[in-house]
Amino acid sequence: MKNYDDLKQIAKDMRIDIINMVSRAGSGHPGGSLSACEILTALYFRAMNIDPKNPHWEDRDRFVLSKGHGAPVLYSALARRGYFPKEELNSLRKMNSMLQGHPDMTGTPGVDMSTGSLGQGLSAANGMALAGKLDNKGYRVYALIGDGESQEGIIWEAAMLAAHYNLDNMTVFLDYNGLQIDGANEDVMNIEPIDEKFKAFGWHVMKIDGHSFDEIFEAIEKAKDTKGKPSIIIAKTIKGKGVSYMEDEFGWHGKAPSKEETEKALGELGGGIDG
């Protein structure tokens, strides 16, 4: 097994950021942000070809957070990667802040697409990948979609298009934590068999543990080696990962912790309250 100690620490630090951000803002979406920390750590700190000093670099790899309510995890990754000062994280959801409740490509360095309306991010990623093909560019496009988001019809329109145009320069992660704002996916609108559905739409499908760096990086490399079709990595994750009272609890989809709950979460994560 490779030594991923540095990446594991970054993921833990990102979880601390998320708790502090959402607590300070008094609103936000901690559950689905905490579930995606390893995925974004892998992408931003090793897998993607990017330059924080030149966020609009034409040949950079692109990332689209289709589940835009998970913005805290993206903001933490961007800050820790050097796109803007970490102190900006304290301004989440504040008036005139560069860090609004959903990603805004016009106001936040490093954000490649404004998202929030569920399902639309995958279509945007399609456009980026298709443009790369037409312009003979070597960049790759990565996207993160949610399992609840996968109930949206536009996801399947985008899935059909990606396969039709052979977008093998695009890799999509599905953050499969099994929960959404109203409860379990299977109770709200069952998406299974999600792997067979994407296969039927012409995708290369992989299933992994979304908290294992070994499995994440292996899947990323397999996606790069796949020709003629887009790849989706169905990553099994835990909503609220790292915070005992948030794990596998759908009530933490979109709720800020109290002062006491914040202190408990940070104590478990080994962090402190910012400011």
Alpha-carbon gap, residue 272 to 147, rounded angstroms: 31
Return the bridge partners of 174, or none.
145, 234
- CATH of span 5-269: 3.40.50.970
Q: What are the DSSP E strand ranges found in 87-187?
A: 141-146, 170-176, 179-180, 183-184
Q: How confident is the model at residue 275 (pLDDT cuts 50, 70, 90)?
A: low
Of the candidates 34, 61, 66, which has an alpha carbon nearest to the alpha carbon of residue 47? Answer: 61
Cβ–Cβ < 8 Å for 73, 53: no
Mean of the pLDDT values across residues 174-202? 97
pLDDT at residue 2, as a whole number: 67
Cis peptide leading into residue 193 (ω within 30°): yes
Mean of the pLDDT values across residues 219-236? 98
Mean of the pLDDT values across residues 55-73? 98
Mean of the pLDDT values across residues 30-34? 98
Mean of the pLDDT values across residues 139-144? 98
pTM of the predicted protein model: 0.97
Encoded amino acid at 229, one letter: K
Alpha-carbon gap, residue 192 to 29, rounded angstroms: 24
Measured in whole angstroms, the distance separating CA 232 from the mean position of its chain's CA atoms is 13
- In the chain, domain spans: 5-269
Q: 45-72 burial, b for 16+ CB within 10 Å, e for fewer?
A: bebbebebeebeeeebbbbbbbbbbbbb
Q: Which of 2-11, 170-179, 256-265 has the lowest mean pLDDT?
A: 2-11
pLDDT at residue 263, as a whole number: 97
Of the candidates 169, 225, 228, 232, which has an alpha carbon nearest to the alpha carbon of residue 196? Answer: 232
pLDDT at residue 271, as a whole number: 81
Q: How confident is the model at residue 200 (pLDDT cuts 50, 70, 90)?
A: very high
